[in-house]
Structure 1
Amino acid sequence: MRRRLLVILLVFAALAVSGLAVPLAASSSTGRTQQLWFDRYVDAEWFSELAEEAMTTDDRQTLLLEMRRYHTLYSDQVLVVDAAGSEFANTGVDVEDPAVVQLLADVRSNRHSVQPPRRLRTWDPDTMRIAHPIGAGMQMEGAVLIEASTVRAKRDIADRWALIALGAWTALALFTGVALGLSRWVLRPLAKLSRSVAVLTETLPKAVTQARPTSVTQRYEGPPEVKDLARSFDTMALAVGDAVDAQRQLVADTAHAIRNPLAALAIRLESLGRVIPDQAQESFRRASSQIDRLKAVLDGLLRLAVAETPAGFGAAQADSDWPSRCDAVRVVEDRVDAWQPAYEEAGMTVAAVMPMEEAEVAVPEDALVQILDVLLSNSCRYAGIGARTEVRVHAGTRWVTVSVVDDGVGVIPDELDKLTTRFYRGASAAAGGSGLGLPIAAALAQRYHGELTVGATVPNGLHISVRLPVRRSGR
């Protein structure tokens, strides 16, 4: 991949440098060409004035003197012809050259071009011909032709081209160094990440079932480093999935293995209840309640292990058999109705405050039922006699928020952030709980990309909100 990345960077660098160097070289050549042409055109205009005066006075001495001095100074040849095309003065121009003859004929007929050539190149001829008419308007008395040397101008152009090329190659060399460093900097973390993933995969437990594949068969396209990293991630994902399954199975096996002795112990205690002395009845009752609490803790651990398994990961893929959506309004109405007798028995009231329209969430119905049962049970157990609990549903464009709000005794502010911690029980919590209810609800919400938050109500009470993603069309 580094070689490909380097080639791509260098190609872009070459294109960028060429995009600057080529126009700069062309502009430099054009500028030097125009400078030479305009200088010689001005000189030709000056010679036409001298030639017009010489033809009028029939005195060629001044014209010839200036033409020789000009030739000595610039090594350029100058030719002056009269209206008939006959040679009037010459410092070395070949009057038999067809190109010279044609150019002079065009000038005398006022059909010559007065635009400079586009640009000189180093391989162009060593001379440039510039012509100017003698006279003005329709009265042409002759023509002046300067055969200018382009050697010096082409040398200047070659020097500028060499300087531009040197700058371009220097810039390209610098960019090559930068590209080498950049490619190493970009790919070093990728290679390190691939090695780390491979090492981590080796440390994870091997597959515990034969139902899931333990090798990666998917084929990837792209650079070798990216393909290796993708394969390493796939292997790690399979291993992590197996580890999650193993953890989940371990909790289930542990709960099952402990539940049987606890059931046997509960039976033995129940049979001993008839022979326990009166003074030991309180201790017997406490022992029985501890067994019930252990059973609740085991059930809670099993539910928590299931809730904390990421959706669609490992054994949690079985969730795909459940519909991944439900109507939060309907579920809330059902759970409030189901908990109504329990609240009446506890001397409290519960009501639902919901919108008229449906509020579909991207959460299976059984998961939302578990969350609501935890929140309503928590309120029913701890809010206190006479408290009122409201279950509110607020539907937004992206999220649906289900809130359970009561005006009961609440909790102290320092305990709010700890209520979703495993086995944590507040100072005002009643006996019999396991401290796993809210952690299970929070894990279920997070499993389906939601969030559970706990807050206090004013002046007293507890406010627990669950924010769940709205079901998008097509999901």
Structure 2
Amino acid sequence: MRRRLLISYMSLLALSLLTLMVPLSVNLAVRETHESFIAQQGDTQRFASQADPALGPAKNLRLRAELVRYHELFGIGAAVIDGEGKIVAVAPPTLSLRAASRPIERALSADQSQPETIWPWQSADLIVAVPVIQEGEVVGAALTIAPTGPLRMRIARNWAVLFAGYLLAMVLTWLAARWLARWTLRPVLELDAVTHDITSGRLDARAATREGPPELRRLARSFNHMADTVTDLLERQRAFVSDASHQLRTPLGVLRLRVENLADHLDESGRREHALTVEETDRLARILEGLLALATAERHDDPGRVEVDAEDVVDGRVAAWQGQGAALRRTGGLDAPVLALPDAMDQILDALIDNALKFGAGTVTVHLEQVEELGVIHVMDDGPGLPEEELARATERFWRSPRHQNVDGTGLGLSIVAVLVAASGGTIDLLGREPTGLDVRIGFPCSTGSPPGAAARDGWRRRT
């Protein structure tokens, strides 16, 4: 955004200066040409007043001497011609009048020469022709031919000074615009950084309110107030879930104990209902445990990630779940430790392996692989899996597939996994397998590099 502002500022300034520089540069060239023409025209008129083609050779010699002296002093060629176009006097003798044919014709027609603007890239001479008039008739013409090198040099020098001023104005304006853009955008950039921090879990991050324009300072104050309100609501919600779960555990345990004590006082017709009631209390206890675990996972305001040896953790969890009714195995490996919350990977693997076993998987494979800056863990099973349209909802709280309503569970397992993965700075994808089964793929940032960006995550997903 700062770059776009600077480009806008500098483009407007460059366009404004160019609209001034172009006419000014033309005016400088015209002025220099006009001044040189006026000075040269005065000398030419003096020669015209001295010329008398009808005079004798002595007068012609004096005129030639005057022209030679003028050429030696100023380096400007001069000539006088009669009414028929013949040269009466010229200096230097090698002076060519071929380029002056048109000005001579105009002078012999009693017309004054008009200056033509000299530009730095031109090499034409500056020619001034003046008619010689005697008794009201044109009897000849006097002309001067000056090289334009010095004139073009002066014009180029003036243009260089003008261009230097243009560059200086651009540099000064760029410095001022850069400071102004930085001052203006600093609150916006800080708001962006604070928003990123809050979305990353740092709920205590707040924007500065003493820098930038008044409107942005007011926006920062409003943003901080909104963040305080949202943070307070989240804390109240988490505290409520955690406190409610804690407070309900004790009366639920007492209730279950009393329901079990009723077993000896029931006849045969009530024992089935009694058993169903005990199962419901167990299910309610599991729901409370899941809610408590979810609230605990969501309270990681500061991720506090540590290096974790994923291979060691996976081996430990696979060994712990052996003998639970399915074949478990670990394949692949990682090049480096990964970053995760303490004990988060253990909980994630336990939840995923438990889900796979719960839904009737015969084989569960935990596969590790390195993908760019990510350490990727696949938990794959050959169970019934989920249809494509249900995979996106699998991490929603309390959501369960309609086909699995009779399977024991609370619908919070994958929700807890998703929260723990996000708090660890990782990503989670649920994919179907052929012919049946589920592939839960989790990516953790490696400790040897910075946390993975969008490029790494996109590259990981493209490989599927």
Q: Do these two structures clear the TM 0.5 threshold for a shared fold by scoring above it?
A: yes
The 5 Å alignment of 1:445-460 reads 445-460=421-436
SS in 1 for 2:265: coil
CA change 1:26–1:465 in 2 (3 A) is: same
- 1:345 counterpart letter in structure 2: Q
2:343 is paired with a residue whose SS is: helix
User: In the alignment, is the contact (CA less than 8 A) between 2:68 and 2:91 conserved in 1?
Assistant: no
1:353 is matched with which residue?
331
Q: Given the alignment, which residue of 373, 376, 379 partners 2:356?
A: 379
2:242, 2:296 within 8 Å by CA — same for their partners in 1?
A: no
1:277-426 equivalences under 5 Å are: 277-309=267-299, 311=300, 316-317=301-302, 320=304, 323-340=305-322, 344-346=323-325, 348-355=326-333, 357-358=335-336, 360-384=337-361, 387-426=362-401
> How well do the aligned residues superpose, as a CA RMSD in angstroms?
4.6
Shift of 1:25: 1.1
d(CA) in 2 for partners of 1:57 and 1:270?
152
Question: C-alpha distance in 2, partners of 1:11/1:411?
Answer: 57
Q: Using the TM superposition, give the Cα deviation of residue 152 of structure 1 relative to its aligned residue in structure 2, in angstroms.
A: 13
Structure 1 residue aligned with 2:175: none
Q: Secondary structure at the match of 1:418?
A: coil
- How many Å separate the matches in 2 of 1:472 and 1:225? 43
Aligned to 2:29: 30
After TM superposition, give the deviation of residue 268 of structure 1 in Å. Answer: 0.4
User: In the superposition, relative to structure 1, how do residues 424 and 14 fare at CA in structure 2: closer, same or farther (>3 Å)?
Assistant: closer
Secondary structure in 2 matching 1:345: coil
Using the size of structure 2 for normalisation, the TM-score is 0.61
Question: Are the aligned partners of 1:419 and 1:438 in contact in 2 as well (CA < 8 Å)?
Answer: yes
Contact 2:338 2:446 in 1 (8 A): yes
Gaps of 5+ in 1: 1-5, 64-79, 86-103, 116-132, 140-145, 154-182, 198-211
2: distance between equivalents of 1:245 and 1:280?
44
Q: Secondary structure, in 3 states, of the residue corresponding to 1:453?
A: strand
Q: Which letter maps to 2:333? A: P
Cα shift readout 1:377-405 (whole Å, capped 9, x = no counterpart): 10111134xx1111111222232221111
Aligned residues: 340
Is 1:82 the counterpart of 2:63 in the alignment? yes
Of residues 411, 420, 429, the one that matches 1:435 is 411
What do residues 394-418 of structure 1 show as CA deviations (whole Å, max 9, x unaligned)?
Answer: 2222322211111223234443233
Q: CA deviation at 1:300?
A: 1.0
Aligned to 2:447: 471
Partner of 2:92: 136
8 A Cα contact 1:220 1:227, kept in partner: yes
Question: Over residues 288-347 of structure 1, what are the superposed CA-to-partner deviations in whole Å (9 max), with x where a residue is unaligned?
Answer: 0100110111111222233345x4xxxx34x54xx433232222222212222xxx232x
- 1:383–1:461 Cα contact (<8 Å) kept: no
In structure 2, distance between residues paired with 1:225 and 1:393:
51
How far residue 113 of structure 1 moved from its aligned partner, in angstroms, is 4.5
Q: Which amino acid aligns with 1:349?
A: A
Distance 1:399 1:217 in 2: 31
CA distance in 2, matches of 1:217, 1:13: 32
Find the residue that maps to 1:82 and give its secondary structure: helix
CA distance in 1, matches of 2:76, 2:278: 116
SS in 2 for 1:273: helix
Quote the offset at 1:432 in angstroms: 2.2
What 5-or-longer segments of structure 2 have no aligned partner? 78-88, 96-106, 118-180, 196-202, 452-464
Please tell me whether the aligned partners of residues 313 and 345 of structure 2 are also in contact (alpha carbons under 8 angstroms).
Answer: yes
- Give 1:114-133 correspondences, 5 Å limit: 114=76
Residues 243-254 of structure 1 aligned to structure 2 (within 5 Å) = 243-254=233-244
Percent identity over the alignment? Answer: 26
Distance 2:264 2:221 in 1: 65
